[in-house]
Every structure is written in structure tokens, then in C-alpha cells.
Structure 1
Amino acid sequence: MIIPFIESIYNHSSLRQNDFDYHKLKDDIQHFSIEPQIYALLNKKACLDDTPAFFVHFLKKGSETAFIQNLFLKSQMEKVLCRFEDQQIETIPLKGVYFSETYFGHLAARSTSDIDLLIRKKDLKKIDNILKLSGFTLESDGPKNHFHCSYIKHLPGSEIPLQVEIHWDILKENTSSFDINTFWESSIPISPNRYIKHLSHQHTFYLMVLHAWRHNLDSLRHFLDILQVTEFLENQLNVADLYSQAKKDGTLKRVQRTLNITKQLFDKCSLTHAYAVNNNYGKWWEYKKIRDRNYRSLKVYLDWVDFVWFGRDQHFHIKKRKASFQ
């Protein structure tokens, strides 16, 4: 039910109330916690009045909750970024509230639970000192070959601590030839800052595709992120250039698998036409497995094997497997 509904929004089709069961849509949207995204899309395309009042109320409530949470996270993030700017630490906010504002058009259009920041690895010690002086503690520095660490800060009156994830890369070492410097080279300062920057649009799309791949597209949130950046960029998105860079980076299979699955699921969405590739990557992926966590099938098992064992460019995958047996 939810897939044709989202396709209708992106295809600018009319949403006649009799075309959809809005109670089932509500269940689907609640399952994936995408109330803010759907509300923002309908509002932007002036389609809210085409849906039942109870449905609009449900979406609006979720959007208001996201707004309060995101507003708080934005204020906390800006305090951290101000300290980083003062110490001349280059930083790029990843996903989060900036992504929501830029690509969905509003702070409340996509809920966020933590703060993700990309930094230069050489600045890790400086950042550790700044965050600890600001009341954060190091929660986890991850495995040896990992690419991020987490800091938390307990807040008065809240059972859930504020979390800041510090990234110095976006992929594990020795699983690709990806060079994070390409992201830095095309990044642009966020005025009036000099050291706080944002990714280029092309690299933002690349990031969201790789992020979706890492989670094996386990939520409609990933699909909406990919579709929304595609629509936002219109003719500016160059998928051929993305595939060319991914081939150089050793991430081509991950990128093509992710976009293939997106195209398979949203096959009637005009935005996915640009993703087409001549392979069957992701052919066993099923929507049912993310809508029903208890769903099991042969295809679910085959997809898991395909994702874990064959989901990377082969020479890097073999290299990683050999290293794991040493």
C-alpha cells in the first residue's frame, strides 16, 4: 500500500481518497517512523487536503514531535560546531538536521536521533579534549578497523543521553579503495564559518546510497532519502559519474545493488529510471522482510548470503576474507 502511495507523490499524481486505504497507510508509516517525511512531501506538493483529516492529524503530530527533537539537536550541534570552528577543526555534519533542511525543505521533515560529524583523523585528540570538556564521555571507539567513535552526554530530566558520533571515514578500512579526501576537496564552507562545511550534492547522494547499503535497506527511510536527493537535484545528479567514482573506489557493487533495489521496489517512480544497470544485484531482496520482522523465506536467506558474501567488489571482499582468517 505505502509503495504506490509514495510513487504517486513523487510522480505528482492526484491522490483521490478512494485510491488508498489510509488506515493501512497509517500502519505502514508508523512502522517505519516516517510521519515527518510523508507530511513534508504532501505539504510541499499541496496534497494534504486530498487526504482524510485523521490521516493529516496523525502526520502532523509526528512532524511536530520531530520538530521539537530536531530543534534541540540542532542547538546542541551548533554549540559543538562553534567550539570546533574556534579551534579551526574542519568538520562536515552528516545526515541529520542539515540534511533535513536542505533536501526535505524543513527542520521537522526528517526525524534525527543523534549528531553525526565528519572530521579529519588527525584532529581526533583535539576533538576528544573539546568534547570531554563539554561534558561528553567516550562511549565506544569501535573495532580497530572501524571509522567512527561515539560520545554521550547525560542530560537532566532525560533517560536518553545526547549522542555525538565522530566519523573520520565512511567505510571500514581494507574493504575498498575509497579516499575520504575526495569528499573534503569538494566540500563547501557553511557561511559564515570557515571550517564547518557541507558535502557537495553529488557526494551527499553517494553517502546516502552507501549508508543505505550498510543497513541493507532495512527501512523505507533509506529509500526516501535516496528518492528525495534525486528529486532535489533534478538534472544535476550524474549517475554515470557516480558509477565511475564508485568503480574507482571499489564500491561499485554496493552502489549498484542499492540503486537496483530502489528501482525494483519503486519501479513505477519516474525518479528511479536513471538508476538502471545491466545486472541482477539485489534480486533476492524483499520488501516483506522489512515490513514484517518475523517474515522468513528462501529469498530472505539468499539475500542475506548475497549481501554478506557477495555484496562488495570482489577483490576487496577476498582481501577482507583472507585477513579474517589470519
Structure 2
Amino acid sequence: MSRPLDVSSFSKELKFMLNLLRSDCPIDAGEAIRQSKDLDWQSFLKLVTYHETFPVLYPLLVQLNEEQRWTPDFVMNKLKTVYSRNTFEMLHLRGEMERMNEKFADQGIRSLILKGPVLAAMLYGDISGRTSGDLDILVSKQDWDKCVKILLGEGYVRGEQYDESTEILNNTERKTHHISYIHPQKRIEIELHWRLNPDSVIEPTFEELWSRRQSSLLNKSVFTLGSEDLFVYLILHGTRHAWTSLRWLMDIDRMLSGFMNWNRVNQLFAASRSTRLGGKALILSTQLLGSLLPEEAYAMTLDPKAHRLAQLALIFIRQKVILFPEPESKEIAVAYNRYLLASMTFRQRQFYIWNKLYPSSKDVTVLHLPKSMHFLYFPLRPFLWFWRQVKRQTT
């Protein structure tokens, strides 16, 4: 059994939230009242909204307050407000998901919904049980141009203030795995994926993923990843984001309670050289949320590197941090880079460093060169980076 994580830096409010969410020993009203003594309820609310756990916590707290009202009214009122708002937003997303899925299917485009309402219904029994800020859709690279044409025709625009003139040396495809499209009127964002993960991760082809797909519980014509592919994807996604939202760890906890072919799961982790990342996620899930671990998954948690990675992730769980698009401070940036590099294989580190050296659209904003001379961005990149840092400090 892996040794316990050091959670001594966790606040009382965070520990209370985790105890409410534990799946191994559901808390009763008496124990909840005892643990909530001298709680800073404002801090508790901030943690619940930051980690986006309120879709699960609000119904639970309503139940625990049935016989005796012990949770302050302002807390319950705030949770009710964000819970109701999320329900409407998820219904809105579901409608757009089904509409765009039909648009794609009419053009013969196969698509896989990665998270969103599909995952909420699959793991929580209802779309109101989970939050989602956008729709993630995976398509085959050969259908990419057709998908973009459909999105633009439906009123979506390229996100991130895209400027084609800043595209250099195919840097977008090298540095990411999806592109964001936003509908200004509907205020819906679709992240269109041509891969599940950045290029530094080995993953199944679209054809393999499609052959193992499963229908959504919401709509039989909407498809998502097969359970094993989904489990590995969610862990790699959570790892990349340093588990800054406990909702991602709650997804892992819910998946562990369902049926999966663990031989296939282990094969997928081995193929992507990410077994220790699976072990890290299982350590976090079992120790923080009380997840029950299948015997076939136990070996992954014994790797000392998996335990070290889980411990490194705690800094991003215990407090609110901003990692994207840029870390909020130098200290957080250092901690995040240390965590990321520790999560990578040697080959992935090489690719990561190479991508840092590869020219980006930011270089074009400093020095615009004609396309025939874009190769010069390679030797000039250190100087352009330095100049951006100088300008940032003087503005």
C-alpha cells in the first residue's frame, strides 16, 4: 500500500470539503456538524466554487440539513444559486452539443464528445451533477476542414483573437492539440480536437478510438470514448492541469466504481508510457476521496515516482492558483514547471523543451518577417523572448 500523502498544509475548510466528498464512508449529519465547528464558511465557499464541487455538495448539504439546519443560510443560498445556474448552463450546452453533432453527422463527419454533458450524465446520473465550461469534440484530421466550415457557418469564430498573419512554421499544430471556436451570441465555446493530448503523448488513432466508442446516455446518436480510453484520457488531462479542480479527481473516483477492462487500461497506460501518471491519480483519488481501488489497479500505486508526483500536485489543490494562460506568479510558474517535468518521460521532456524553443506567434508581434524568412525565428527566438520580458517589466 502506498504511504500516506502529507496533507498537513490543507486548511480545515478543504479537509471538511474532502470529507463530505469521500465515497468510502459517507458522512452523516452529526459528524458533519462536529467537523464544521469554527469553520470559515467564506473560505469554504471559495474552495467549493474554485474546485467546482458544488453540483455534488449542494444536494448533499440539503440532505444533511433536513433535520437540523446547521449550515449558514448565506452558504446554502449561494450554493443554490450556482447550482441552479449550472443546471441551466448544462442544459444549454446539451442542446448545442446535440445540434452540432447532428450537423456533423449530416456531412458524414464522425465525432466524439470528450466531456461536458455526456460525462455528467454518465458519471453523476444527471447533467446537473457536474460543471462544464465548453464542449470538447474530437474529430478525424481528415474531416478538420469540413468541421471548421460548419462551425463558421453556424456563427462560431476562432477564439484567442486569432490572426492568420501570426501563424509561423505550423506552430499552432505543434504547440497544441485543439483550437477554440466561440459563438458570440450563444456564449458557447467549442474546443475542436484533432488529438486527445499534446503531441508529446503517444495515443490511439482516431480510428481505434472510434472502434471502441460508446453511445451517450443522453442521446444514442451522440458518442463518447469507450470507458477505458476515457479513463486514461481524463487522467492525462487532469495531470496536465495539475488537478487544480477537484471535479477532475471526482470523475476518476466515479469511474473507479464502474466496470472497466483493467487489462486494456494497463495496456493503454503502458503504450502511452504514462503508467506512473495513472498511479499518481489513483493515489490522489484513494487518499483524498476514499475511492475503492480494484485489485488490478493496485500495482500502479506502488511506484515511488507516482507517490512523489501525487505529493507535488497537492500545492495546486490546497489553494486557488492560476496556471493558464500564464501562471499567476513566478513561484507558481516554477512549481508548475517542476511538476510538469517530473510528470514527463525523457522523450517528452525533450519534446517539451524543443517546443519552448520553437517559434511562436508572440515572436511575430515583436518582429514581423516575410514568410520566406520565417526560418530566422529559430536563431532570433532567445533575443525576441528577452525583449518581450523587458517590455513586460517596463509597462
8 Å contact from structure 2 (residues 14, 318) kept in 1: no
| Aligned residue runs from structure 1 range 15-34, under 5 A | 15-16=29-30, 17-21=33-37, 23=41, 25-34=44-53
Give the letter for the 1:310 counterpart.
Answer: A
2:56 matched residue in structure 1: 37
Q: Give the alignment partner of residue 342 of structure 2, picking from 289, 294, 310.
A: 310
1:151 matched residue in structure 2: 181
2:255 matched residue in structure 1: 229
In the superposition, relative to structure 1, how do residues 313 and 42 fare at CA in structure 2: closer, same or farther (>3 Å)?
Answer: farther
What is the distance in 2 between the residues matched to 1:216 and 1:253?
14
Secondary structure of the 2:99 match is: helix
1:80 matched residue in structure 2: 100
User: TM-score if structure 1 supplies the norm length?
Assistant: 0.81
1:171 matched residue in structure 2: 197
Q: Give the alignment partner of residue 6 of structure 1, picking from 6, 12, 18.
A: 18
Give the letter for the 2:156 counterpart.
Answer: F
Shift of 1:270: 4.2
8 Å contact from structure 1 (residues 96, 115) kept in 2: yes
Shift of 1:167: 0.7
Shift of 1:143: 1.8
Shift of 1:122: 0.6
What is the distance in 1 between the residues matched to 2:185 and 2:321?
35
What is the distance in 1 between the residues matched to 2:234 and 2:76?
28
Identity of aligned pairs, percent?
19
In the superposition, relative to structure 1, how do residues 198 and 132 fare at CA in structure 2: closer, same or farther (>3 Å)?
Answer: same
Aligned: 1:292 with 2:319: yes
Aligned: 1:243 with 2:266: yes
Q: Give the alignment partner of residue 133 of structure 1, picking from 133, 145, 153.
A: 153
Give the letter for the 1:30 counterpart.
Answer: T
Secondary structure of the 1:280 match is: helix
Give the letter for the 1:29 counterpart.
Answer: V
What is the distance in 2 between the residues matched to 1:315 and 1:38?
41
Shift of 1:313: 2.3
Aligned: 1:111 with 2:143: no
1:207 matched residue in structure 2: 233
1:253-295 per-residue CA deviation (whole Å, 9 max, x = no partner) reads 33333333444544xx142575523223315425354443479
Give structure 2 stretches of 5+ with no counterpart.
1-12, 163-170, 323-327, 359-395
In the superposition, relative to structure 1, how do residues 314 and 258 fare at CA in structure 2: closer, same or farther (>3 Å)?
Answer: farther
Give the aligned length: 314
Shift of 1:211: 1.1
Shift of 1:121: 0.9
Secondary structure of the 2:172 match is: coil
Shift of 1:214: 0.9
In the superposition, relative to structure 1, how do residues 155 and 323 fare at CA in structure 2: closer, same or farther (>3 Å)?
Answer: closer
Superposed CA RMSD = 3.5
What is the distance in 1 between the residues matched to 2:184 and 2:334?
42
8 Å contact from structure 1 (residues 152, 163) kept in 2: yes
1:108-153 per-residue CA deviation (whole Å, 9 max, x = no partner) reads 1112221111111110111111111111122258722221111111
Secondary structure of the 2:304 match is: coil
What is the distance in 1 between the residues matched to 2:193 and 2:333?
31
8 Å contact from structure 2 (residues 235, 281) kept in 1: yes
User: TM-score if structure 2 supplies the norm length?
Assistant: 0.68
What is the distance in 2 between the residues matched to 1:285 and 1:272?
21
What is the distance in 2 between the residues matched to 1:237 and 1:47?
32
1:41-70 per-residue CA deviation (whole Å, 9 max, x = no partner) reads 667xx6563773535444333211101111
Moved more, 4-13 or 213-222: 4-13
1:278 matched residue in structure 2: 303
Secondary structure of the 1:65 match is: helix
In the superposition, relative to structure 1, how do residues 303 and 244 fare at CA in structure 2: closer, same or farther (>3 Å)?
Answer: farther
